[in-house]
Structure 1
Amino acid sequence: MSTLEIKDLHVSIETDQGTKHILKGVSLTISSGEIHAIMGPNGSGKSTLASTIAGHPRYEVTKGEILLDGEDVLEMGPDERAQAGLFLAMQYPVEVPGVTMTNFLRTAKTAIDGEAPKLRTWTKEVKQAMEKLRIDADFANRNVNEGFSGGEKKRVEILQLELFKPKFAILDETDSGLDIDALRVVSEGVNRAHEDNDMGTLLITHYTRILNYIKPSFVHVFVDGRVAEQGGPELADELEANGYDRFLATAAAGV
């Protein structure tokens, strides 16, 4: 059993207009096998939380802690966080010209595990994972994300998730830009990784449609850099029906 603890997290960034405070005291705990959905309007701090957990240098933690099994994540570099068992599926996966998918995946797996996977076993595992995610075999020889569609990039993110087997996955709007077929395939991949590895999952989304496929244990509503409310899956149904108005009104009133 592993635990990812976020305690009273405050995060700022520097902009042309000066320091901007984004997260204003976020606390939540994720355990192995749990799926936590984070929902909220644009600009509420959801992606900032994801990037901060992963170690993006733009985001400055001014107060609070992130602990992975009691270890201080904030003292780790992004590579050390990956080795410790954290994985981020990016909202906008980047292209990596000149690096093939085959080389990237095996190099990353070697860096995470500290040793190279056995080639015959690894090749079989990659092939099977690609087939399940309906990724054409030719993609193995293409450069990472170069010329890929939005949906193809998101499938490749989940391919990495299945192959790297992290303790905790942070999925930053993995559903954005997906048609209904791609959404189903990607969700199935997340569910496989969750079930096979007892993985904890932090799922950031605007919409409830992905929650029809990936069932959350808990739902957290982000507004103005804070957790405005949390509950079970029924909270997502309320958001689908009524939107964020009552949470935004409460935040505006300073309650």
Structure 2
Amino acid sequence: MPNFHRKLERSAIGFVLAIIGVSAIGGFVEIAPLFTIQETVEKAPDMRVYTPLETAGRNIYIREGCYACHSQMIRTLRDEVERYGPYSLAVESQYDKPMLWGSKRTGPDLARLGGKYSDAWHVAHLVNPRAVVPQSVMPKYGWLMRNELSTADLSLHLAAQRRLGVPYTEAQVANASADAYGQASPDSSYAGGVGERYGAETNVRAFDGEPGRLTEMDALVAYLQVLGRLTDAAHRQTAAKGK
């Protein structure tokens, strides 16, 4: 075998052909399953898209590198399911562009974080993590309370997501800025449009505790509060298996 390797490495054409052959096999193994992907993705008729405010929060989450310490994919292992809840389904990530499954867990998995803690808890945790979790090594993000959220380009963000397959409507794209403000301002004239375009169960409230002022904290907390709640497919599947 060593002699074969030496001969192959001395032949440029043979070596290139060998590389192409091995790459072709690896490519086939990776690509072939994509032709049957629709058979492996669960159905979720109740699945909704991210609102503009949640989309902005997701962008901030990515910008601040939160994905480097938190995964968003619960494996089928028993200890993970008992700690975090039903394991993640493929359909739950169908509108995540890019996906944030991750594999590093300096902090806990966040796939089912939505609704687990109050908005006030999230704000306090982001402002000073050690105030609520003494052993936390997470950095502070207090400036999110001071930074006003820029909404001028949210329509462009939604339009880009639509080109990638996320089913945003023309009305959702056109009203992105107004809906972002309305979701965090329940007493404003814009709040009603959020429920009309994204569903009556959409969270509409001052996420940072300061009505009338739209901040990056509003956006990030809105995003965290919807994680695992865009569809109830995982919980329904778990309930069906338990029968």
The question of a shared fold, defined as TM-score above 0.5 by the shorter chain, is answered with: no
More strand as a share of residues: 1
TM range (shorter): under 0.3
**When the two structures are superposed, what TM-score results if normalisation uses the length of structure 1?**
0.24
Higher Cα radius of gyration: 2
More helix as a share of residues: 2
**When the two structures are superposed, what TM-score results if normalisation uses the length of structure 2?**
0.25
